Amino acid sequence: MIILRQNQAQMITFVMVDSDCDEVTGLGSGFTLQLSKAGGAFAASAGTKAEISNGWYAYTTTAAETDTVGPLSIRVTGTGAEQQNLVFFVREATVGCTEFTYTVTDSVSGALLEGVEVWITTDTSGTFVVWNGTTDASGIARDADNNLPCLDSATGGTTSLTISGNSGLATCLILPLTLRW
């Protein structure tokens, strides 16, 4: 089950298929999406809908749609498509830390880079990894549960953020932060 963070707008992606299980294209943002928070009644969505391509679609929730801890059930319908039923789990935001957003871009073109592996370690050699993730389509590093790293201001020492990717991209940024997990 995919975990969503409480009180934060977050993008989810899904595929729309017809009764033959073929991908349905061309819906744009014209599909209907309803949400049920923690078993409550389904309500109309208020976030941003978009078509990615080849039957893939995206929905970005509003912070208000993720304000309730527990299951977030989503029902998606569209012309020519079978109803898609999606379930996510909204978890409580960690108290006392700040989510750290690290966006990876191409240093020449400025393009957002997807699929770059990111590690946060407690040492500059990269031996003690305390957080790792991969950049999403927006170039933002997220862990396997779609979460950003949650960091406290440091009282001493530093945290090293090491980034590397398939194209040989490698860098190290020393941050005056500590990771809370």
Q: What is the pLDDT of residues 10-66, one digit of tens each?
A: 899 999 999 999 999 999 999 999 999 999 999 999 999 999 999 999 999 999 999
CATH number of domain containing 146: 2.60.40
Q: Give pLDDT, residue 180.
A: 38
Same domain, 17 and 83: yes
Domain boundary among 91, 117, 138: 91
Structure tokens at 5: 């963070």
Domain boundary among 72, 91, 110: 91
Same domain, 56 and 128: no
**Domain count of the fold of the chain:** 2
Same domain, 59 and 103: no
Say yes or no to pLDDT of 95 above 50: yes
Same domain, 117 and 62: no
Q: Give pLDDT, residue 97.
A: 66
State residue 64 phi and psi, 5-degree precision.
-65, -30
Same domain, 108 and 87: no
pTM here is 0.57
DSSP assignment of 15-72 equals E-B-TTSPBP---TT-SEEEEEETT---EE--SEEEEEETTEEEEE--GGGG-SSEEE
Task: Give CA–CA dist 71/83, Å, rounded.
Answer: 19
Question: Residue 96 — pLDDT band, cuts 50, 70, 90?
Answer: low
Q: What is the pLDDT of residues 97-125, one digit of tens each?
A: 677 777 888 778 888 888 888 877 766 77
Domain that holds residue 126: 98-179
Same domain, 13 and 82: yes
Same domain, 72 and 134: no
CATH number of domain containing 67: 2.60.40.10
Domain boundary among 45, 66, 91: 91
Same domain, 78 and 14: yes
